[in-house]
Structure 1
Amino acid sequence: MTLLNVEDLKVTYATEDDTVHAVNDVSFSIDEGINYGLAGESGSGKSTIAEALLGLLPGNGTVERGEITFNGRDLTSLSEAERRDVLWEDIAYIPQSAMDSLDPVMSTGAQIVQTIQTHRNVTDEKARARVEELFEIVGLDPDRIDDYPHEFSGGMRQRVTIAMALALEPDLIIADEPTTGLDVIVQDKIIDKILEIQERMDSSLLLITHEIGVIAETCDELSILYGGKVMEQGSVDNVLVNPTNPYTMGLKNSFPEINDDAEDAVAIPGSPPNLNHEPTSCVFKDRCPFATDECSDSHPDLVNLPNRNHRSACHHVDKAAQMRRDAKDPATWDITESEGASTETGDVILETDGLEKYYGQSQSLLSQVRGEDPDYVKAVDGVSLSVRRSEVLGIAGESGCGKSTLGETMALLEDPTGGDLVFDGEPYEYYQDGNLQEFRRKVQIIFQDPFDSLNPRQTVKKLVGEPLTIHGYRSDEHEQAIVETLEKVGLNPAEKFLDQYPHELSGGQRQRVAVAKALVLDPDFLICDEPASMLDVSLKVNLLNLLRGLADAEDIGIVYISHDLASLMQVSDRLAIMYLGRIIEEGDVDRIADQPKHPYTTSLLSAAPEKDPTADRTRVLLDGEPPDPVDLPSGCVFAPRCPKAEEKCWGAEPTLDESGDREHRAACYFPDDETEMTALDASPDDSDFESLSGADSMSD
């Protein structure tokens, strides 16, 4: 039975200059018990469709035409009161940013109680009991229902929003990018928990994401959107195994993977279309390597393919098999094939030895009077590593492991608490003693969110040129340096962007401006702190290729910090895995991917989603959360979550030398236990790990 039906939906946004045609004649349906995915780049119309379904379009948004029916009821004709009855009761919503969607001045439990009592006439006692039950369902401690959002980690906050969405047992759950910005382990837990609860409640799911790997492992059917149009739709197996639309092929090829036999990701060049006018030609033609004159004449209709439940909008769908073969070749997309990570590296440019960064905790007045030592959060706890010129060192780990603090300490944005840091042959004290401007010219950092790091009141020209002014470059040198740098990062022609402000740029363009700002001084060292975590998969690959090319061509050292191991495999020469402020494994990228020595690395590798829905991935879900960084356990800090921990792991902390291999080291007492440590061989019966195969986690 059909639960939700969307027919010829068209949504526009009125702006001061033009009307934006965000969604153009989109149709799809979701049957009871079906998980449905909407995938595509930013600006494709995914979130607009969700907002139209929920009646949450902004004031300038209008449903111009089309039908949205839920259980046979027209959602577009409901009054506000009628819509309130439907939302949460029948249709629940899991938003993208849990911190933005939760009220910071109300406890998490009180917010869910409010939702329940708005729709059900129940006592406070029964409502709180339901909240405790929901916390248990989503894997949170029921004793914490009176805690506030800021007291939870990002993954925990997202679980609170899931609990809120499930409070009234809705028939349909709409999840809009529920895992964006989360590390892969938390993402795996969130997705697994949604699927588990769904099966228990027998509800349907509409999952909106640009991560096709997540859709491949969780959904039964999907629609691929681009420029507000459906480019391809049908069963996940049909669409992702044998795509027939060039855009689907490009999106799939852009998805990086960890597998040994995986090919390098190939980005889709160009930018999404301008939707200030209703599309009259194929919306993908300007980026499509197979476009012909016919594609300029009209946008193709969705046509049914011989495979059951598979439709595609392409004028050349009859040539799909040949296009699939050609699409795997970077040359088809006018991309020069990368030669991979450089094997020729230069001298060591940055080195740390036992580097520490501790943050003292506040003390009571009585403790201060007694002269008691304060507690410390050991964000960076004895890190030793080195980076050479023309080398990219990837640093991976869960949120809160100390990656960003390590990057900021390397950049001397944070003063080291202890240990040594040597840059370009000089200790960090040399730079802090009156030579910091020299250090700032040579070392640049790129932050995660360009909206936070770029001044919204400055044009691109001003933003990129500001470092030149600070460091005393002559004004007549500015424009040429700015133009050359913008073109180096792929913003061509540069003149088109000089007078634009950050809000006028796409997410990928903003991030490239942030990269250009860091590169305009020709630095010797670049620290990249999660620069692609919020980008679409195609934009992410473009940025990774850019950084890899810079390391090879510009002879600079790069530290790339990320929780996404698949991306790190694409760009890095070596990897360092962090856990609770410490490096627990380090070595060549290929060696770590082929044979991880530490069980934590194994869990990170196992959490990376597969883009092939027929693949059988062994999902290893780590039990519990990382220990309190103020009160760390004795011995190995990973022991409380490790399925292989033995008595000696609790007694003394292992060091990176335990493996006895200088080229691939792990801080583990069992680094050569190959059968036990490899994700593919992880025992599904192990009581300490929850192991689910990718096939088992799919909906029936």
Structure 2
Amino acid sequence: MSLLEVDDVKITYRTPDKDVHAVNNVSFSIEEGDNYGLVGESGSGKSTLAKSVLGLLDDNGEIRSGSITFNGRELTNLSEREWRDVRWEEIAYIPQSAMDSLDPVMTVGEQIREAIHTHKDVTDAAANERVEEVFDIVGLDPGRTEDYPHEFSGGMRQRVTIAMALVLDPDLIIADEPTTGLDVIVQDKIVQKLMEIQEEIDSSLLLITHEVGVVAETCDEVSVLYGGKVMEQGKTFDVFNDPHNPYTMGLKNAFPEVDEFDENAISIPGSLPDLVEEPTGCVFRNRCPFATEECESAHPPLVGDEDQASACYYNDRADELQERAADPETWGIDVPEDDEGSDVGEVIVETDGLEKWFEQSQSIVADLLGGEPNYVKAVNGVDLDIREGEILGIAGESGCGKSTLAEVVSALQSQTGGDILFEGRPVDDLLDEDTKQFRSKVQFIFQDPFDSLNPRQRVRAAVSEPLKVQGVEPEEIERRVRQTVSDVGLNPPEKYLDKHPDQLSGGERQRVAIAQALVLDPRLLICDEPASMLDVSLKANILNILREMADERDIGIAYISHDLASLSQIADRLAVMYLGRVVETGPTEEVVENPKHPYAASLLEASPRADPSIDRQRVLLPGEPPNPVDLPGGCNFAPRCPKATDKCRQEDPARSEFADGDHEAACFYPVEDIESELLARYAREREQADRESAANIAEHEPATET
């Protein structure tokens, strides 16, 4: 008997107009101790299935047919009282956004103890002991159980939610996009910790994500969902190593690999179907490059065996389709004939020793006593330049200063020290002369397009507004708006110009934000994580648009991301930041294939791979970045670096040149052989930590009922 069995489930959402058929005839099962993945684009039905397993469908949601059994018990007809006994104790849930799921006015320990007391009749002392125990298991300091959520970093908050899910030793853990938006290093830690804990408590895992690489590396079996249907399912190795379904092929090929340089990213054209009507033909046919008339007749059945089954009429042509699906032109992506990289022109912007420090507020007593102010050194001596037609990728963990650097370079914030030259002139002089003119030349694209789009404005008004501010004639405004909207792939423009942001998909909204930035023909475009929250296919589409704009419009682009795999596809050069400083910079291919700084090497090794045959060695950096107010002496990375010596802790290394001089890294002991000297050291540290954790678990018995 399977632990969880979902059998032919159909789920609909009632709306004022028509019902939305969100899940259609989905079946899968999870065995005890197995990791199972549900992967697909947003809107494919993954989270709806998770909510149905937890009995948490929205009020307008309904399971129309099918069965969901857990340990042989039917879940679809449980009362709310019965559900309260199941949730957390038998089935636990890890949500996507830890900040949204944790109560900001309760300590994290209080919240976990509340879950314990709801299900167990235990003393406060026993509950406290269990909270400290699960904190230690997930790698958090047990002394911080009485801290509030805002006192933890994003990755640490996510570990708090994992601790809460583990506290009652559930049989099944459902993790809904637990790593989306997290830095790759934090993501790697979260996934690794989840795997270790799941094995220790002998539970099963249902992982819901659009991150193909995370599923490929962690799950035993997988179902690929699209439009509420299972397109392919089976053993993860078989599904991703030899995909039979065109949708699986598209998802895998759209996933950026860290060693793919200057390639046109594959993206699946179009958008998910409108599910107000039950699909008649293959639900993927309108986006599939291999669709035929047969695909319009009915949705194909899942054909295959328990190791791999695919819903496609052309499973017998899988090898041929895989070869064609690996070509961007198959998906309608124009590939330039001359693909030797972009032609780089003159320097547009240049920084020299750039600093941005924020004064930290002190207590009233400290102010009265005249104490020295403390500063957060967000940007601390950065030298870089961006040229015409070039994309500079700026990489690093959250809190490293990437976004602050972007805001200072674009004059959204003033610098504390150092110089910024734009087209050879100090930015301060340009702002004094004509602020409006400078703003037209430097444009910013934010991570969330809702930050830059007025929900009450139609697309036409949003894209035309910058032109109106600059005093452009109405006839010229209309022409440029239509042209720019078309340039970013919103075709025909008439289909989009009169829509509001809430009528657009996430990828369409981001393209409108890009059009809004490009309509003024800027010289410099600064993109702050513009695709980090998007599905892999939408992310690939955004990357292609920006690469095309850099090449065709000859603009300079600064692309900020924690995802080096995406940067390796789009960027000409990389600058890796850590705690306000650039620790390594150089041509993208050189930095990726031959990283010199241990931090850059760690970022690269933390990037997941969609190929399940690759046995990637996880590089688990110890600890968190130091407090930017109280930076360590010497090299900032020394407290986390496996190569650090006393010299590193006492002296701050300058950047040294490698190769032909374009590649620089600030390290006394540059990485020469990652496998033998960096990864091996981390592996030993991890092994030691595993032994200590196992010893701790053996020493403490779980809290017992009284």
Short-chain TM bin: over 0.9
Is this contact kept in 2: 1:212–1:252, CA < 8 A? yes
**Aligned position for 1:494:** 493
**Aligned position for 2:619:** 620
1:226 aligns with 2:226: yes
Residue type of the alignment partner of 2:6: V
**When the two structures are superposed, what TM-score results if normalisation uses the length of structure 2?**
0.95
Q: Which secondary structure state, in structure 2, belongs to the residue aligned with residue 619 of structure 1?
A: coil
Structure 1 residue 685: Cα displacement: 3.2
Change (3 A) 1:108 1:661: farther
**Aligned position for 1:544:** 543
Structure 1 residue 326: Cα displacement: 1.2
**Aligned position for 1:49:** 49
1:336 aligns with 2:338: no
**Aligned position for 2:698:** none
RMSD of equivalent CA atoms: 1.9
**Aligned position for 1:325:** 323
Change (3 A) 1:683 1:88: closer
Q: Which secondary structure state, in structure 1, belongs to the residue aligned with residue 30 of structure 2?
A: strand
Matches of 1:262 and 1:516, distance apart in 2 = 23
Q: How does 1:630-645 map to 2 (within 5 A)?
A: 630-645=629-644
**Aligned position for 1:351:** 350
Cα deviation, 1:341-394, whole Å, max 9, x if unaligned, reads: 734201000000011111101122332233322100000011110000000000
Structure 1 residue 24: Cα displacement: 0.8
Residue type of the alignment partner of 2:145: I
Matches of 1:660 and 1:248, distance apart in 2 = 40
Residue type of the alignment partner of 1:300: P
Is this contact kept in 2: 1:684–1:690, CA < 8 A? no
Is this contact kept in 2: 1:595–1:674, CA < 8 A? no
Change (3 A) 1:341 1:8: farther
1:65 aligns with 2:57: no
Cα deviation, 1:411-470, whole Å, max 9, x if unaligned, reads: 111111111001122212113325221111000000001123222121111211111121
Q: How does 1:447-486 map to 2 (within 5 A)?
A: 447-486=446-485
**Aligned position for 2:697:** none
Structure 1 residue 478: Cα displacement: 2.3
Cα deviation, 1:313-339, whole Å, max 9, x if unaligned, reads: 001111111111111112222222255
Change (3 A) 1:264 1:154: same
Cα deviation, 1:512-547, whole Å, max 9, x if unaligned, reads: 111111111111110000000000001101110110
Is this contact kept in 2: 1:381–1:582, CA < 8 A? yes
Is this contact kept in 2: 1:591–1:664, CA < 8 A? yes
Residue type of the alignment partner of 1:110: E
Matches of 2:255 and 2:204, distance apart in 1 = 26
Residue type of the alignment partner of 2:309: R
1:28 aligns with 2:14: no
Worse-matched range after superposition: 8-17 or 30-39: 8-17
Give aligned-pair identity as a percent. Answer: 61
Matches of 1:27 and 1:238, distance apart in 2 = 19
Worse-matched range after superposition: 421-430 or 393-402: 421-430
Cα deviation, 1:253-308, whole Å, max 9, x if unaligned, reads: 11111136997542112211111211001011111111110001111011125xx5
Is this contact kept in 2: 1:524–1:557, CA < 8 A? yes
**Aligned position for 1:251:** 251
Is this contact kept in 1: 2:262–2:571, CA < 8 A? no
Cα deviation, 1:227-273, whole Å, max 9, x if unaligned, reads: 11000000001100010000001111111111369975421122111
Matches of 1:691 and 1:334, distance apart in 2 = 48
**Aligned position for 1:655:** 654
Is this contact kept in 1: 2:262–2:569, CA < 8 A? no
**Aligned position for 1:416:** 415
**Aligned position for 1:375:** 374
Structure 1 residue 155: Cα displacement: 0.2
Change (3 A) 1:109 1:691: closer
**Aligned position for 1:697:** none
**Aligned position for 1:116:** 116
Change (3 A) 1:525 1:365: same
Worse-matched range after superposition: 680-689 or 597-606: 680-689
Q: Which secondary structure state, in structure 1, belongs to the residue aligned with residue 118 of structure 2?
A: helix
Q: How does 1:34-433 map to 2 (within 5 A)?
A: 34-259=34-259, 265-305=265-305, 308-337=306-335, 340=339, 342-433=341-432
Q: Which secondary structure state, in structure 2, belongs to the residue aligned with residue 684 of structure 1?
A: helix
Worse-matched range after superposition: 167-176 or 450-459: 450-459
Matches of 1:669 and 1:446, distance apart in 2 = 36
**Aligned position for 1:695:** none
Is this contact kept in 2: 1:602–1:678, CA < 8 A? no
**Aligned position for 2:598:** 599
Matches of 2:128 and 2:339, distance apart in 1 = 55
Change (3 A) 1:465 1:18: farther
Structure 1 residue 29: Cα displacement: 0.6
Q: How does 1:484-523 map to 2 (within 5 A)?
A: 484-523=483-522
Cα deviation, 1:134-191, whole Å, max 9, x if unaligned, reads: 1111111111111111111100000000000111010000000000000000000000
Is this contact kept in 1: 2:488–2:511, CA < 8 A? yes
Matches of 1:200 and 1:270, distance apart in 2 = 43
Matches of 1:433 and 1:317, distance apart in 2 = 65
**Aligned position for 2:700:** none
Change (3 A) 1:681 1:393: farther
Cα deviation, 1:650-671, whole Å, max 9, x if unaligned, reads: 1110011375963100000012
Runs of 5+ unmatched residues, structure 2 = 692-706
Matches of 2:625 and 2:683, distance apart in 1 = 22
Worse-matched range after superposition: 78-87 or 654-663: 654-663
Is this contact kept in 2: 1:353–1:420, CA < 8 A? yes
Cα deviation, 1:383-412, whole Å, max 9, x if unaligned, reads: 110000000000000111111111111111
Matches of 2:668 and 2:225, distance apart in 1 = 49
Is this contact kept in 2: 1:618–1:691, CA < 8 A? no
Q: Which secondary structure state, in structure 1, belongs to the residue aligned with residue 656 of structure 2?
A: helix
Structure 1 residue 691: Cα displacement: 11
Matches of 2:188 and 2:262, distance apart in 1 = 21
Matches of 2:119 and 2:210, distance apart in 1 = 33
Q: Which secondary structure state, in structure 2, belongs to the residue aligned with residue 25 of structure 1?
A: strand
Q: Which secondary structure state, in structure 2, belongs to the residue aligned with residue 92 of structure 1?
A: strand
Structure 1 residue 687: Cα displacement: 7.1
1:561 aligns with 2:571: no
Is this contact kept in 1: 2:620–2:682, CA < 8 A? no
Is this contact kept in 2: 1:20–1:276, CA < 8 A? yes
Cα deviation, 1:592-631, whole Å, max 9, x if unaligned, reads: 0111000001110110011111211111100000001100
Worse-matched range after superposition: 174-183 or 468-477: 468-477
Structure 1 residue 222: Cα displacement: 0.3
Change (3 A) 1:275 1:687: closer
Residue type of the alignment partner of 1:548: R
Change (3 A) 1:245 1:675: closer
Matches of 2:606 and 2:65, distance apart in 1 = 41
Matches of 1:677 and 1:301, distance apart in 2 = 49
Cα deviation, 1:71-102, whole Å, max 9, x if unaligned, reads: 11111100000001100010000000111111
Task: Name the count of aligned residue pairs.
Answer: 690
Residue type of the alignment partner of 1:275: L
Is this contact kept in 1: 2:234–2:309, CA < 8 A? yes
Change (3 A) 1:149 1:672: closer
Matches of 1:129 and 1:33, distance apart in 2 = 26
Matches of 1:136 and 1:311, distance apart in 2 = 41
Matches of 1:327 and 1:661, distance apart in 2 = 37
Change (3 A) 1:343 1:457: closer
Worse-matched range after superposition: 620-629 or 321-330: 321-330
Q: Which secondary structure state, in structure 2, belongs to the residue aligned with residue 685 of structure 1?
A: helix
Matches of 1:603 and 1:65, distance apart in 2 = 48
Residue type of the alignment partner of 1:321: D
Change (3 A) 1:280 1:686: same
**When the two structures are superposed, what TM-score results if normalisation uses the length of structure 1?**
0.96
